[in-house]
Amino acid sequence: MKKCTSLSARTTLLLIAGIAVFSLTLILILHFSSNRLLYNWQEMETKGMYEYVEQTLSELIVSSISQNKGITNTDITSVLKDFPYLPNWLIITDLDYNVLYFYRQNGSGRQMQNYMRHMQDITAWRPIAADDGKTVLYYSIGVPEFTETKSNDTLIKSFRLALALACIASLILAFLASQFFSRRIKKQTMSLVAVLESIAGGARDAVIPNSSIKEFSQIASAAATLQDNLLREETIRRQWASDIAHDLRTPLTVLQGTIEGLIDGVFKADAQKLQTLNTQVKHLSSLVNALSLLSKLETPGYILHKETVSLTDTLTNAVSFFSSQTQEKNMEISTNLNNVSINADPVLFERLISNLISNAVEYGLNGTEIYITAEKSLSSEALSLSISNYAELSEETVQRAFDRLYQGKISRTNDHSGLGLSIVQAIVKAHGWNISLQYDKDQKKVTFIIIFTKSLYSWG
């Protein structure tokens, strides 16, 4: 089982990790940038020291040549008195490397190592030439590094100590801040968990707490919607179970009474009684088959057997099938289809068209016309099918037309189960299409519109 951690603990860890990463990044940046800064400073100071020594000794050489005398230690000491800062050492020799001037501070072991290395490496000595380009003197100088100065070294150590303390303080503050905010998050999380657990336990009147955190507010909104949907689904399921029991009880009561009468000799087993029994059995069979089909269509993973279906042929056959019913009600069916084919399950699609036309004929007003039109939207390239008829519908019927086992006032006077349009909607959803019902109360015009999305079709 995967190990879980609380949201507050993760918040604390993430905040501390974020501060730690930021601090480490800052330390690395300051470290490398300070090293680069010190390197540049070293180069600049070394260059300045070289320029000062060479310019001063060059002037001394010019002066000694003009006076026709040699350069002595006293001469060099007198001119080298304005150092920008004291070097670690400075040695000046003549062409034969005889020492004319020597200066060395009492430095650290590292300074002494540098000094001995320069003394032994003759190539590290720098020449100083006269105006004619001839070398007159050699010198070797040791420029102190930035941290070799005590005050500078103290400054660097103080800076690094302050940086380390700042990082520690940041981590402590991050921990305290995370604890403060995580307590609020934990409190709101536990409230939501308690509500969700109560909903899972069957409660449908749980009060969803509000939250100032956007994500928690979205979860709370989703939980409220879930609770409303569960309540609505449970209400529908109870109503559906009640309606199924009612629809099954009526034909079963008739069957039971008739059969008992035949057994007791109250009724004669004539053609009329047998026809009554057969009618009730057919009604039960139709209801059970409709419920079975609806259950299959609403089962997740139900597989459709799609193929290219001619919408035109299917509608033409359905119109022909209902011709006798339309003649009885003095109704006409007008079609505007062109040559249209779609990708669908042929059996289910035939059931869908049959249910819609049957609904239009059964509940349409006598002497009216039914319009069936297929058209293609120019904006979305989607194919739509509309079936329109004229009927008187209540507002409740319009709102609940697709509900399972719902029967309006007109349909309750007929021998119907109220599953026809529910099956139509289930078939439409199984194919990934859309269906809607529009009702013009003034004209008493009912229009079912199917949008064939996610389906290949041909038009022409």
pLDDT of residue 387: 93
Q: Which of 60-69, 91-100, 176-185 has the lowest mean pLDDT?
A: 176-185
Top mean-pLDDT range of 137-146, 293-302, 331-340: 331-340
Average per-residue pLDDT in the chain?
A: 80
Question: Confidence band (pLDDT; 50, 70, 90) for 405?
Answer: low
Are 10 and 178 in contact, with CB atoms under 8 Å apart?
Answer: no
Q: What's the 3-state SS for the chain? A: CCCCCCHHHHHHHHHHHHHHHHHHHHHHHHHHHHHHHHHHHHHHHHHHHHHHHHHHHHHHHHHHHHHCCCCCHHHHHHHCCCCCCCCCEEEEECCCCCEEEEEECCCCHHHHHHHHHHHHCHHHCEEEECCCCCEEEEEEEECCCHHHCHHHHHHHHHHHHHHHHHHHHHHHHHHHHHHHHHHHHHHHHHHHHHHHHHHHCCCCCCCCCCCCCHHHHHHHHHHHHHHHHHHHHHHHHHHHHHHHHHHHHHHHHHHHHHHHHHHHCCCCCCHHHHHHHHHHHHHHHHHHHHHHHHHHHCCCCCCCCCEEEEHHHHHHHHHHHCHHHHHHCCCEEEEECCCEEEEECHHHHHHHHHHHHHHHHHHCCCCCEEEEEEEECCCCCCEEEEEEEECCCCHHHHHHCCCCCCCCCCHHHCCCCCCHHHHHHHHHHHHCCEEEEEEECCCCEEEEEEEECCCCEEEC
pLDDT of residue 149: 67
Question: Confidence band (pLDDT; 50, 70, 90) for 372?
Answer: very high
Q: How many beta carbons lie within 10 A of that of residue 237, not counting itself?
A: 11
pLDDT of residue 4: 55
**Residue 345 backbone phi and psi in degrees, to 5:** -75, 115
pLDDT, tens digit, 9 for 90 and up, residues 76-100: 888 888 777 778 888 888 888 788 8
Residue-range domain boundaries for the chain: 7-150, 214-297, 307-459
pLDDT, tens digit, 9 for 90 and up, residues 206-258: 887 777 777 778 888 888 888 888 887 777 677 667 767 766 777 788 788 88
pLDDT, tens digit, 9 for 90 and up, residues 126-172: 898 888 888 889 888 887 777 766 767 777 778 778 877 877 887 78
Residue closest to 313 by CA, chosen among 339, 343, 351, 348:
339
Q: Is the pLDDT of residue 380 over 70?
A: no
Question: Confidence band (pLDDT; 50, 70, 90) for 301?
Answer: confident
Are 13 and 195 in contact, with CB atoms under 8 Å apart?
Answer: no
pLDDT, tens digit, 9 for 90 and up, residues 267-286: 777 888 788 788 878 877 87
Q: Residue 97 to residues 103, 132, 271, 344: CA-CA distances in angstroms?
A: 15, 21, 144, 105
Q: What is the pTM of this model?
A: 0.51
CATH number of 7-150: 3.30.450
pLDDT of residue 109: 52
Q: The tokens of 96 are what?
A: 């034969």
pLDDT of residue 370: 93
CATH number of 307-459: 3.30.565.10
pLDDT of residue 411: 45
pLDDT of residue 116: 59
Distance CA 420, CA 355 (A): 6
Regarding predicted confidence, which is higher, 70 or 113? 70
Distance CA 423, CA 298 (A): 10
Q: Is the pLDDT of residue 120 over 70?
A: no
pLDDT of residue 388: 93
pLDDT of residue 413: 41
Question: Confidence band (pLDDT; 50, 70, 90) for 1?
Answer: very low
Tell me the fold of 214-297.
Answer: Helix Hairpins (1.10.287)
Pairing between β-strand 89-93 and β-strand 135-142 as defined by DSSP bridges: antiparallel
Q: Is the pLDDT of residue 68 over 80?
A: yes
Q: The tokens of 128 are what?
A: 């100083």
Top mean-pLDDT range of 198-202, 375-379, 385-389: 385-389
